[in-house]
Amino acid sequence: MSPQVILLFSGKRKSGKDYLTDHLQQRLKNECGVIKISAPIKSYWAKENNLNLNELLSHNEYKEQYRLEMIRWSDSIRAQDYGYFCRQACHDALDKPTWIVSDIRRKTDICWFKETYKDLVKTIRIVADEETRKSRGFQYKDGIDNVASECDLDDYGDWDLVINNGEGKPTLQKQMESIMELCKNNK
């Protein structure tokens, strides 16, 4: 079965990408599959450096020790082929009508998905103010928070949906409904 809608989620560290996409997955159950562009990066890095892949994939602090190096290495691959990790992440194409891509970071990620899947693609930006992100554990790091990995989409202006997940955010129910509404147009 080919997908009917592909939801691309983006947002800064601790904006709530995993939180909201996990909830969406619980809601859609078997109807959806989750794709993480960081998965093939982490898998390669774990193998090369003999690291614990499950820890690297988890929400724990463990991955933070390796984030800077993974960004640098993955950017060197992207410089040759910007779709490399997007393609790898979609490789075992999910047999589900809705795909949730939980970690879009660069304009080239959006470009690759739109070139490949055309108008199946919907882009969603999760925003949260810095105070809220700090209360969730965000700490600014030079080389991470001021490079493409975190900033390339700051000036992207063509989101299909922007969700506030910070101060004054709507209820989770409302956040989910706005996503479902976006999907409806593709089904």
Ligand X SMILES: Nc1ncnc2c1ncn2[C@@H]1O[C@H](COP(=O)(O)OP(=O)(O)O)[C@@H](O)[C@H]1O
Binding site for ligand X (CB under 6 A): 11, 13-19, 59, 136, 165
Which residue of 34, 41, 101, 104 would you call a contact of ligand DP6, by CB under 6 A? 41
Residue (of 39, 91, 84, 89) closest to 63 by Cα position: 39
Pick the closer one to ligand DP6 by CB: 103 or 179: 103
Q: How far apart are CA 168 and CA 186, in angstroms?
A: 29
Give the x-and-dash track for 136-175 against ligand DP6 (CB under 6 A): -------------x--------------------------
The least CB distance from residue 22 to ligand X, in Å, is: 7
Q: Is 149 helix (H, G, I), strand (E, B) or coil?
A: helix
Q: How far apart are CA 174 and CA 187, in angstroms?
A: 20
The least CB distance from residue 81 to ligand X, in Å, is: 26
Tracing tokens 């299909």 back to the chain, one arrives at 160
Q: How far apart are CA 45 and CA 69, in angstroms?
A: 9
Pick the closer one to ligand X by CB: 61 or 155: 61
> Taking CB under 6 A as the rule, does residue 38 contact ligand DP6?
yes
* C-alpha count within 13 angstroms, C-beta hemisphere, residue 176: 13
> Taking CB under 6 A as the rule, does residue 70 contact ligand DP6?
yes
Q: Is 136 helix (H, G, I), strand (E, B) or coil?
A: coil
Give contact residues for ligand DP6 (rule: CB under 6 A): 13, 17-18, 38, 41, 63, 67, 70-71, 74, 103, 105, 149
